[in-house]
Structure 1
């Protein structure tokens, strides 16, 4: 299922960025937001790897981060439900 999200030019949408490593795409997105090229805010930087260097980068940029270990859940479905729950807590569409 594919969803398109259109953000109002007047209202900043909240997004989450998923990383598993250095977070090079996350940095590019955040830099674009800071430069005014994207009308949104990063509500969460999420990783399934506790030692992902991009989490430290996000913390250094004063952004909220979250690591959830997929091995801690009995199924992929349970893991994904927990991710969705965390996104909803932060009003991420």
Structure 2
């Protein structure tokens, strides 16, 4: 297998895109960031991608008759660019089987809670309002449900008594920026095996060779 070719899907500021781009550029992630897909052409993540010299496909959903129509176009582009892994990083569109089915096991998402708790778009605020003592970050495979796919990696964060949505969001995002490139790295190293809902992470090859 050659170097893993990644497409990041994002809608907003793109801080997780930046974390992945920085990890690639810094040599901490052996992969190629080959494409950004965004449903908001004016978003900051598009600017970040251009600055990083990453090809961009930015589209307006309203220009298409359906989700399936623009996803069919995206799927063709992904195949042309020989994308191995889709990384959803703040992509605010519901995906259809047009993309999910051909990329099942090759599409991951980063979510700001310890799934299966608090799925959806307000995971940080919901954790704080519910009064849980621990929340965190999850990287999981995408299966077409709402943040319901098999879990690859999680990182827990203790909720402080003085936390606000803003302060907790800052710490959750910092954890995302560390965990997402790490999980992509495991996939790039062919260390991740998906068995039903169970995800196994094998030891690095260098560690095995040293034993």
Fold similarity call, TM over 0.5: yes
In the alignment, is the contact (CA less than 8 A) between 2:21 and 2:52 conserved in 1?
no
User: Which of 31, 39, 59 matches 1:40?
Assistant: 31
Moved more, 45-54 or 31-40: 31-40
Shift of 1:87: 1.0
In the alignment, is the contact (CA less than 8 A) between 1:47 and 1:55 conserved in 2?
yes
**Partners in 2 of 1:61 and 1:25 — Cα distance?**
13
Shift of 1:84: 0.7
Uncovered stretches (5+) of structure 1, i.e. residues with no partner = 1-7
Alignment of 1:1-93 (within 5 A): 8=1, 11-93=2-84
In the alignment, is the contact (CA less than 8 A) between 1:19 and 1:52 conserved in 2?
no
**Partners in 2 of 1:88 and 1:78 — Cα distance?**
16
The TM-score, its normalising length taken from structure 2, stands at 0.38
- The superposition leaves residues 63-83 of structure 1 with CA deviations (integer Å, 9 ceiling, x where unpaired) of 111112111111111111111
RMSD, aligned α-carbons = 1.2
Structure with bigger strand share is 2
Larger Rg: 2
Which one has more relative contact order, counting CA pairs under 8 Å at least 6 apart?
Answer: 1
